[in-house]
Amino acid sequence: MLLSMMLLSGCERMDTPVLEYYPSQVVGDKPAQNLDASCVSDFHEDVDYFPERTQFDWSDQLSVEYAGHFKRVRFRPSVNTGETLDILLVQCGTPVPEHEAATVVVHIPIRRLATGNSAMLGAADELDIVDRLVGIENARTPTVESVRRGIAAGSIQELWGYAHANIEPIMAVRPDVYLSFYSAYPQFNLHPQLQRVGVRALPQADHLEGHPLGRAEWLKFLALLVNREAKANRQFAQVEQEYLHWRNLAAQARQRPAIMAGFPSGRDSFEVFGALNQRAQLLTDAGGDYVLSGLRKHGSLLQVGFEEAYVAGAEAPVWIGVQSGHASLAQMLEITPRAAWFAAARAGQVYVFDKGSIGAWASPAHDNGMTRPHLALAELVQVLHPELLQTSVPSTFLRRLP
């Protein structure tokens, strides 16, 4: 803590540590694929070093432009934090182009990645880069097997501090990039502080996207850092196809049930999400109507009064996304008796995204939900409109409280 205060007390930005680059190789004038584990030894200005490219079609917050040897990524948060961040990704072995002082420069492909949010663990596994993962916020919660093996082998360190982490442990693992959980409340965002002490910290704001497929496109963001756009494109195309299939199927439903969501978070408050958030869009695409559709905000975690939540959702026949960890509906009602005021609870139609949980905030939905929204959508369609399905859908993320 003392070190953090000393480092952050000054106004000057510390020098960023030099990266450990991959070995260089002769590339020639027409590379057939991106270099995902090497640098350029024979740079030529007119060569396109990124023949494999991607783009963001669903994301509200990300965009990318390619040049011959660098990529410009722009992050514009969907929430009003007063920030726009430019990120310059430069192929190692090539010169850094001119840029604004505030631009974050990263030489790619990166070798050492750390993250402050478990949502990227599944993405790292899908891109086959868990071997580059050196730090995560909590070593006790991952459900991704390759990540658990890395922890057991000692190659992945625990950073503590959960989503907002601590500065000293992050610096200690010397990441080329640290993906910092992005909050709708600027005072809680750590990336500006980390950048001042020399850590290349980039925001991770998948949870603030307006559409589940926009959230899934953060797989592409990770791929940009390791030059594996082709792999990300293939992965995403399959997810997109499946997601749209289930959305189109749900659109055939004759009725759209009202859906209560969230959970009591205090004596007089309820934790919910904005109607412009990807979580609300998931319910819409599943053929339901979010009872707080008038809450026109992008936030993934909002507080409303208990009375407001009750008036909106008391008669909803289904309750999706209550707090994880309850073994049964009876246990939930014992802990939160007022939940019994809701019709869905009395009817036993209460669901939670904690299937396969191994502890608090430790479930496949946390680790893999970002890149697999098609699975969550299929499960929701089965709950809301079982008459549309010819065969049952296996449960991956969603669990009905018994």
- Are 256 and 235 contained in the same domain? no
Q: For the chain, what's the residue count? A: 402
Q: What confidence tier does 63 reach under pLDDT thresholds 50, 70, 90?
A: very high
- Are 218 and 295 contained in the same domain? no
Q: How many helices (H) and strands (E) does the chain have?
A: 14, 19
Mean pLDDT of the chain: 93
- Are 229 and 324 contained in the same domain? no
Q: Are 107 and 19 in contact (CB under 8 A)?
A: yes
pLDDT per residue as tens digits for the range 247-266:
999 999 999 999 999 998 87
More confident residue, 299 or 360: 299
pLDDT per residue as tens digits for the range 132-172:
999 999 999 999 999 999 999 999 999 976 555 588 899 99
- The whole-number pLDDT of residue 161 equals 60
- Are 53 and 196 contained in the same domain? yes
- Are 225 and 340 contained in the same domain? no
Tell which of 215, 239, 263 closes a domain.
239
- Mean pLDDT on 341-362: 90
* Rounded distance between C-alpha atoms, residue 89 and residue 40, angstroms: 14
Domain coverage including residue 327: 251-400
pLDDT per residue as tens digits for the range 352-400:
999 988 766 678 999 999 999 999 999 999 999 999 999 999 999 999 9
The CATH number that applies at residue 362 is: 3.40.50.1980
- The whole-number pLDDT of residue 6 equals 41
pLDDT per residue as tens digits for the range 26-55:
999 999 999 999 999 999 999 999 999 999
- The whole-number pLDDT of residue 355 equals 94
- Mean pLDDT on 282-287: 99
Report percent pLDDT > 90 for the chain: 84
Q: Is the pLDDT of residue 83 over 80?
A: yes
Q: What DSSP line would sit under 229-281, residue for residue?
A: HHHHHHHHHHHHHHHHHHHHHHTT-S---EEEE-EE-SSSEEEE--TTSHHHH
- Are 214 and 258 contained in the same domain? no
- Tell me the two tokens of residue 311: 């008036």
- Mean pLDDT on 226-246: 99
CA 5 vs CA 128, 193, 379: distances in Å: 37, 11, 47
- Name the residue among 212, 154, 204 with its Cα closest to residue 365: 212
Number of domains present in the structure of the chain: 2
